[in-house]
Structure 1
């Protein structure tokens, strides 16, 4: 939508720099993608310009910066609200605390799933080896200090059991430099020690670490990954953020269970945050962001024996800052989803969204690391579409999701006719009414 690209721009809330991309340039790049001779050329064009060819580009009035709408349902409700509750506040009892092997995790990282279409061409991944990518990602989160931790030597051995392409894929996803520069002495010493152990030569004095060379062998990539691992939290004591303790989650569940709600307010899982609650739907996130957790957190974090908590660096003061930050997102969500809008309301939405984004980089260290969600920036462009197309209810995806849900419930033998047209008509009438 705008010219800002890259991770460094995701937290940019200076809207004067959000300059729309040039329509003519986008059409030009789309034609370049269409006319490319090889898959590699197309991949390079897309990685550079972020554009595919579409038949819409044949239309004189087609402007993707204004007509490719960012859906509020997926971007805000299933994107930012879920991200805030589960990954930022950690209001999720199912969040991992120890691995299947019994080792504790020192930190949580939003690892991307392996995608053959976006992976570099030089990484040749056999489909049967794709699960090893997740194994490597899992191992790198293990604690390397404290109880139930592993040594770097043990982690090296476990990583050595994975294929080279899996190690390369993880290193690529972390955007690690592929040269063995600035490697921690612990890692280089371990590399030499393990090389000596495996070497059959009697004279080990010539064994050295290949500093400055390009990574090409399995041990080279393991060294890069472990060097990155040392830059992350070593101990599991800080894995569960203070906001995501059991008492907080239990209080929210009690509010959900005990609150008397109007009939027009949809129900949400009473065991919210538990694994048994299943997948929370967009409609449920809508009410979780506008009613239940806001009420619960205002009482739990915003009430100090009938008084407001102190605005300082005490534990209560930090909770107050977290509450203000969380409410900024919830208020932005409420304003965005109103059934009527105006320039004033769009500006209020943008103000609260910017306040939430700015708070992410200061209050929550875990939000600054890992694979950053593009939704953080994309949600800011909801402002543009509120001005262009009015209330989100006229262009969000709820009607399509309802229709998909209705179609999925149909028992069919692939014959034309039957219940299919009946359900389509019923869903259409429901959306109109």
Structure 2
């Protein structure tokens, strides 16, 4: 009873903070949403230019040298990318420079124009974090407020680039530490992600729509309280293990390529040159360019792509996921710029397509599960990815989304694509299990 007299004061404080953070977040979301819209338009444009002029692939090594010198001359600490933003949130230091946004935007476009296998999430998140850091410095915010504003920049960039604002908000809270979420930025991140998505859409940008047409069938096991196909659920668990191992393989390979390239290639600008030559060689060895660029759609109607992975047929080979994994690990590990997430979608969707054939499961459902689950394992964000499944595919299969993402999360181990991600809670209960409250 005694607490009740303080309740109105507490609610007024909360209302004030919500209003304040709405005002702080609004410019971050507007600028980020607009820049992401520009980035997506440029990305689509250069992808079609590359399709029309396949000879551009031969200039990929030259593009790598250009990217190297752009960061060497103007990048400074901006080359750390997403990890710099996460480090600044964990432990404020030199700040996130405003130059990060134009640098990563230009270099990602260059990577895609000349055939690098990369994504777009990293670029969008860096744009959001860079703009948040710049606005925080301009307004003279405290370190604590700047840290929260950087989280809203992550949410805004992610929510806008994929058209999944709730996922963007939860991703910003979940990605910083394995197994730990920060709720102090919950509402500001949601506001930022929703508003940035609205702004991006207002510029006329549309996102690719994926569909799972499979309709769930009640269990035939004769158990009345089961409202799902138990046999299919077991197949989803098996697939989740495969998705998690794929996440681990990609993260491990990409970090290994980067480490060994820096250790053994003594002339730094030669690293992207060699990487570009390897990508060109792989295209000729496998006689395809389907594993270049984003891979959302293909230059050819029956080519290997994320969209086609949702369709039954033999256009997706059983090893398409592994080829995309190798192409992307080399591209990003050897110094080219872009995100990892869309290639992870590609790996997951094509692996899901293959698993559907192996296990006799619905192709579109398995492709959708792989789409979100490989991403969940590589970023250690199973909750955000489950929500992404709902935002992209609807609520009909949410149980399968959760099972696939949670299983992949556990089987991906403690490695991830972000080296700045802190260990929070171990993925197993044993003597070394730790917790942060």
TM-score by length of 1: 0.23
- Structure showing greater radius of gyration is 1
Name the structure with the higher helix share. Answer: 2
